[in-house]
Structure 1
């Protein structure tokens, strides 16, 4: 399952601001976006990922993504960082 990559990632940036910054800096390998996150928030990162050639993987929910990231709250998005 795709969330295994989140769990196994050496470094993650969690949340909209951090994930966006990681993509802008060219450090993101893959971005995970929750399907139930607000589209007004996700549209910017989707377009950014497409223009930067970063893989986008959609996950079922913010709760699922948050748990995979090891946090107690939901996460709209998370980026796997290339070290």
Structure 2
């Protein structure tokens, strides 16, 4: 499942993910469980309100690797095509 993220049309980060959810462009959101709750809490709320499916990933490092960046990622959104 994570291997698909590398080539998927996506946005990385909280700000871009919030925008994608609000604009109705987010198909699925991946959230790292070790990210700060003050950062990810609003994402959980937006996904629930907008009926966007969420997938929890164990670590930020694992999520960062899956999307091909050298740092950890707290949130990644796969965009609807």
> TM-score when scaled to structure 1?
0.92
| 1:6 to 2:5 alignment | yes
Number of aligned residues:
81
Distance between the aligned counterparts of 1:38 and 1:71, measured in 2?
A: 19
Q: CA deviation at 1:47?
A: 0.5
Confirm whether residue 45 of structure 1 aligns to residue 43 of structure 2: yes
| 1:79 paired to 2:71 | no
Secondary structure of residue in 1 paired with 2:71: coil
Write the distance in 1 (CA, Å) between the matches of 2:77 and 2:28. Answer: 6
Report the 3-state secondary structure (helix = DSSP H, G, I; strand = E; otherwise coil) of the residue aligned with 2:78.
strand
Measured on the aligned residues, the alpha-carbon RMSD in Å equals 0.9
Which 5+ residue runs of structure 1 have no aligned equivalent?
A: none
Q: 1:59 maps to which residue?
A: 57
What is the distance in 2 between the residues matched to 1:43 and 1:34?
A: 11
Normalised by the length of structure 2, the TM-score is: 0.94
Cα deviation per residue 1:33-78 (whole Å; 9 max; x = unaligned)?
0000000010101000001000010001000000101000000000
